[in-house]
Amino acid sequence: MKLPISILTPIILTLFISTPTQAQAPAPAFLPPSPAPAPAPHYVNLTDLLSVAGPFSIFLNYVVQTKIIDTFQNQANNTDQGLTLFVPKNSAFTSLKQTTFSNLTDDQLKSLLLYHGFPKYYSLAEFKNLSALNPVSTFAGGEYTVNLTYDMGTVRVASKWSNPNITSSVYSTRPVAVYEVNKVLLPMQLFSADPPLAPAPAPAPESKPSDLAPKSSPSGSSPKSIDSANSAHVISTSYMLLWVLLGAIMFML
């Protein structure tokens, strides 16, 4: 017996819908979000920094004239290690004799300037652990080393002939650290003896009033005018006494 088409049609549709699909699309794999790229390090212009801070004009002039500023600048911005600089104030240079640096060759002067830096970034807190590794090599390399001491936050950078301490942090953001020191670092490789200090300026002579200067009188008159007045008063008084005496004699006669 054949079923009517009106009955078969809904049955076929029901079977088709209820039959699971043999080939299913695979579920999409979960992918974690890609990390954001690290921000590029901030470019530090050492020339501009040392120009507005300080006063560091003497040290800046030396590193610019010898082109050591280019070496420092490249280390600061084009390497992963970064840079640490110890910059003496102008007063640290002027306290030494002018011949201290004029007797150095060009290469020796460059070594002296490189001696004031580490080819790596160090924060102030890192000097505590770094001091346990003394002596510490400087940018000048070789035997140009310094000894660091860290005492309750005070950091000293000792060379052969000077033992300056860090007086302030001028700039300290990775990868560049610039610290102010109160003395010039003087390595034994360049100086056989402690360079002499510049003579202290002579004190200005004190101005003292002369003992022979005439003293002004309270009334504003000069001593000579006072003496003249006193003499005239004595003379006039004598004349009066004389006339009184003559009058008495005439009365008695």
pLDDT tens, position by position, 193-251: 888 777 766 565 555 544 444 444 444 444 444 455 555 554 555 556 655 565 655 55
Task: Tell me which of 115 and 54 has the higher pLDDT.
Answer: 115
Would the pLDDT of 42 be above 80? Answer: no
Nearest to 121 by CA among 60, 185, 173: 173
User: How many secondary structure helices (H) and strands (E) does the chain include?
Assistant: 9, 7
Token representation of residue 109: 């002067």
Q: Which percentage of the chain shows pLDDT scores above 70?
A: 62
- Tell me how far apart the alpha carbons of residues 10 and 7 are, in angstroms, rounded to a whole number: 6
Task: Tell me which of 46 and 206 has the higher pLDDT.
Answer: 46
**Kind and range of the H or E run holding 70:** helix 68-77
- Those residues whose C-beta lies under 8 Å from the C-beta of residue 120, and which sit 6 or more positions away, are 81, 82, 83, 84
> If you write DSSP's letter for every residue of 110-170 in order, what string do you get?
HHHHHTTEESS---GGGHHHHGGG-SEE-TT-TT-EEEEEEETTEEEEE-SS---BEEEEE
**Kind and range of the H or E run holding 83:** strand 83-88
Would the pLDDT of 9 be above 80? Answer: no
Amino acid letter for position 48: D
Task: Tell me which of 137 and 18 has the higher pLDDT.
Answer: 137
- Dihedral through CA 125, CA 128, CA 129, CA 132, nearest 10? 160
Would the pLDDT of 82 be above 50? Answer: yes
Residue 201 pLDDT: 61
**Kind and range of the H or E run holding 15:** helix 5-18
Would the pLDDT of 177 be above 90? Answer: yes
pLDDT tens, position by position, 90-147: 999 999 988 888 889 999 999 999 999 999 999 999 999 999 999 999 999 999 999 9
Would the pLDDT of 89 be above 80? Answer: yes
Residue 223 pLDDT: 47
CB-based contact 249:241 (threshold 8 Å):
no
Residue 167 pLDDT: 96
**Kind and range of the H or E run holding 171:** strand 166-173
